[in-house]
Amino acid sequence: MADHAKTAAAVLTGVGGESNITSMVHCATRLRFVLKDEGKADAAALRATPGVITTAQAGGQYQVVIGNDVPDVFAAIQAQTSLGGGGTDGGAKGTLFNRFITMISSIFTPILWALAGTGLLKAFVAAAVTFGWLDATTTTYTILNALSDALINFLPMALAITAARYFKASEFTSFAIAGALVYPTITALNGQPDITFFGIPVTMVSYVSSVIPIIVIVWLQSHAERFLLTVLPGAVKRFLTPMIVVAIAVPLVFLVIGPLSSLIGGGLAAGIGWVFQTLPWLGGAIMGGLWQVFVIFGLHWGLVPLFQLEYQTTGQILLLGPVFAAVLAQAAAVAGVLVRSRNKNLRSLAAPATLSGFLAGITEPAIYGINLPLKRPFAFGIVGGALGGALIAMGGVFSKAFVVPSGLALPALLGNGNMVMLGIGLAVAIIVPFALTVVVGFKDPVDDTAPAAPAATDTMVLSPVDGAVVPLAEVPDAAFADGSLGKGVAIRPTSGAVYAPFDGTVVAAFPTGHAIGLRGVDGVELLIHVGLDTVKLGGEHFTLKVQSGAEVKAGDLLLEFDGDAIERAGYDLITPVIVTNGDLYPDVADVASGPLSHGETLFRALSVDSLTTAH
């Protein structure tokens, strides 16, 4: 079973520690960080972490690709830090476009899987009606349709919560605003003439499934709330602020924001419709060929609102059909690698990646683990996706639900457009990259026959501080005490200096000075964490003497700290010293006890090779 806590700890170290993180969210397969200094991130260490597929930098975010387990690793990071996820409108860095991508991913990520899951159920219900398996006049259909359609119908209310979290607005005030937009009597006014508000004409539009109005108004709400909470008297501001905000915000949407967003959405939907009617092969080829490239750079988030705008305006999503070709083409390419490769390690990766891509539409393991490193399979997938996407678009195929494109989600397309063209497009998207990968081939790695890497050897770890040894199980922090972060011991320091416990390299010198990561010449990796929760001191009472990447010798001074000041601030000074690469060094032995000075033997890190030989 994957150790999500250990992966989370390694990822935190790899991105420069909690103090280097401005905001954190996750999408379907990756952790998305906005870092204060991306130069402090160690891409090599992150990619070598068990559970991490690769890293990427795009859209103003530092992305750590995890795969299907990303929610578990995200939760583990939250448990180990004070990070709650999300961000603020000022948290993103870079260009306006990068900030837009960060905002959209932060707002849509929390509801993505629920949206995709209910959309898939809606697709199955629609397919059942199309093939005559379910009568649309029955109450069974009514119930199934309601439970599969509710989230997309009341999408503004879901987005109100996530947008409020992103913009730091009151969630329930945002919810009240969104509720007014989709209130039954308001919805019934859509299309009716002579609607006024205090004599002001209102152009009532439908807010069902809408995206733009609620995001814009919650952004404005966040600024209004901060202003009102500052200027209103303390005795009344808590109830007057939401009253004033709702009283102004809802009419503002009805009078200005809603009609403008309707014009924008209608224009975009019309533009998409024009492309797919006039040059359908071009629109399909772009979506089918470049979708996975967009995913790599995180740019696909910019298209998610377009899916929703198209659905709200037309009741269908033409953009989504060709994306099925893009996803299945990359899955087919990795299937070709599985058939052609003679490399056992590569084949062991290709098998689950193929299954994940075809069934669930999760292509990151295929792309980052196989297709991109081999280059040709990724290119063949682009070719297959472009050809298949063009054919699907030429058939006018569309979806009536938002789904994650995959084999399981194909019912979303059934009966919507030319099914012959859909079948041909999907066949081409699968056959072309598979055949090209098998026939044309790629440079097959030969590491199966390469000489074995030198065996890891046991490493003597010297005490980095003066103090008394304490068993790790007695550390008042569960993540350290149960060994989930690594095996080792703890020390109660009696002086304020930390020294190198062996010859090696500093792989992580945390800016806050509370911890330091080292890699020995034999490969052992060690974390020295001075005190518990001391990251909250923000570097106060700590002085770093080395930087990440520095070569050190045993006994070199690494950092200094004021132990008395740290304890006066209310922090436990107990210092865990743990081995973090347990896959190579799974245990420790010859652990010292009692008081000792820095430079004396603390324990021996046992390598997996020595343990295997011993048994």
Catalytic sites, residue numbers: 27, 529
Q: CB count, 10 Å around CB of 500? A: 26
For residues 41 and 15, the answer to whether their CB atoms sit within 8 Å is yes
d(Cα 506, Cα 337) in Å, to the nearest integer? 38
Angle at 122 between CA 119 and CA 123, to 5 degrees: 90
**Phi, psi of 255, deg, nearest 5:** -85, -35
Cα 440–chain centre separation? 34
Q: What is the largest CA-CA distance in the chain?
A: 88
For residues 489 and 472, the answer to whether their CB atoms sit within 8 Å is yes
Q: How far is CA 585 from CA 249, 363, 482, 523, 528, in A?
A: 59, 32, 17, 9, 16
H-helix segments, 400-477: 419-439
Output the six-digit token pair for 258: 């809603």
Please enumerate in sequence order all residues whose Cβ is within 8 A of that of 526, keeping only pairs 6 or more positions apart, or say none.
461, 488, 501, 502, 517, 518, 519, 520, 577, 578, 579, 580, 605
Task: Identify any residues that bridge with 221 across adjacent strands, giving them in sequence order.
Answer: none
Closest CA to 74 of 85, 63, 82, 61: 85
Output the six-digit token pair for 320: 């989504």
